[in-house]
Structure 1
Amino acid sequence: MKILKILAVVLFTSGFAKAQELNSADVPGNLNDAFNKEYPKATNAEWKKELDHYKVEFDLDRRDHEVWYNASGNMLKKELEITEAELPQVVRSIIKSKYAGYRVDDVEMVWKNKVKTYEVELEKGQDEKHIIFDEKGKVLNERNH
């Protein structure tokens, strides 16, 4: 029983070690400034502290966005939810031919280290795939879920 209590405490507190939700007032000023300058029309901003960086999820033009900043206010990564139709034609063609029978479930355009990629989740029955494409349609990573 003692082991179960210890395990419960570890599991409960480990979630807090990964991400801590922040009120806007608790976000460092330089991060708020960088965010507000880049996204002045953003709504529903929710900040989280994740290990050594900060993440903000927000809505802009009826789309979900996520942006990661380091403590200095430099943008590390950003993700924008897009539609299948907004994928480059070459990526759509590869999905249609190589992944015939799969349905596009979720698509995000990702910028990291000044490189744009497309993260696509595909489903076919119980089979799920997560694929990362570059702008030219090259598969950079593929994994099954």
Structure 2
Amino acid sequence: MKTIQFIAILLFATTFVQAQDINENQVPSVVLNTFKTEFPKASDVEWEMKGDQFQVEFEIGYFSDYEAWFKATGEMLYYEEEISKRKLPEAVKNTIQQKYDAYRIDDVKKINKKGEISYAIELEKGREEINIIINENGQIK
């Protein structure tokens, strides 16, 4: 388990080091066009280049934070939306209750990868924190 946590931290740190904030005029037009088509109401848009991919953080409405990832070709790889735990499907809530009853839900992101929905969930128990990914049917990935 410690090896997995170390690898996750290492990957996060490597991604963070390689991330570079960029201006919208540095984003390929095909990426911008896809983004604006998919998210026409996006505001507070911030772009980053991570490796050969473009990451954009933005808001829709007042309290809806999103993050989307694109290839340089304009293909959207996936997007995430921060959501309330109240919006989790019952199957996901049931899995968490059955397998992680002692934990409380701290953070939830709904992930849409080409129409396949899953949820990245941060769970806490005291000082312990774990991250899990569950599909919309309640299966842990």
Q: TM-score, normalised by structure 2?
A: 0.83
Q: How does 1:124-143 map to 2 (within 5 A)?
A: 124-140=125-141
Structure 2 residue ranges without an equivalent (≥5): 1-13
Contact 1:53 1:71 in 2 (8 A): yes
Q: How does 1:72-83 map to 2 (within 5 A)?
A: 72-83=73-84
1:111 Cα deviation after fit? 1.7
Contact 2:53 2:70 in 1 (8 A): yes
1:97 Cα deviation after fit? 2.5
Inter-partner Cα distance in structure 2 for 1:20 and 1:48: 5
Evaluate the alpha carbon distance shift between residue 51 and residue 120 of structure 1 in structure 2; reply closer, same or farther with a 3 A threshold. Answer: same
Q: Which amino acid aligns with 2:130?
A: K
Rg larger in structure: 1
Q: How does 1:60-79 map to 2 (within 5 A)?
A: 60-61=60-61, 62-79=63-80
Contact 1:17 1:51 in 2 (8 A): no
Inter-partner Cα distance in structure 2 for 1:65 and 1:17: 21
Contact 1:48 1:54 in 2 (8 A): yes
1:101 Cα deviation after fit? 2.3
Structure 1 residue ranges without an equivalent (≥5): 1-13, 141-145
Aligned CA RMSD, in angstroms, stands at 1.6
SS in 1 for 2:101: coil
The answer to whether residue 25 in structure 2 is matched with residue 25 in structure 1 is yes
Evaluate the alpha carbon distance shift between residue 17 and residue 99 of structure 1 in structure 2; reply closer, same or farther with a 3 A threshold. Answer: closer
Give the fraction of aligned pairs with identical amino acids, expressed as a percent: 39
How many residue pairs were aligned? Answer: 127
SS in 2 for 1:73: coil
Evaluate the alpha carbon distance shift between residue 85 and residue 17 of structure 1 in structure 2; reply closer, same or farther with a 3 A threshold. Answer: closer
1:90 Cα deviation after fit? 1.2
The answer to whether residue 73 in structure 2 is matched with residue 35 in structure 1 is no
1:113 Cα deviation after fit? 4.5
Q: TM-score, normalised by structure 1?
A: 0.81
- Between 1:93-102 and 1:49-58, the stretch displaced more is 93-102
Match of 2:108 in 1: 107
Q: Deviations over 1:31-79 (max 9, x none)?
A: 1111111111111110011111100000012211010010010101111
Specify which structure has the bigger relative contact order, considering alpha-carbon pairs within 8 angstroms and separated by 6 or more residues.
Answer: 2
1:15 Cα deviation after fit? 7.4
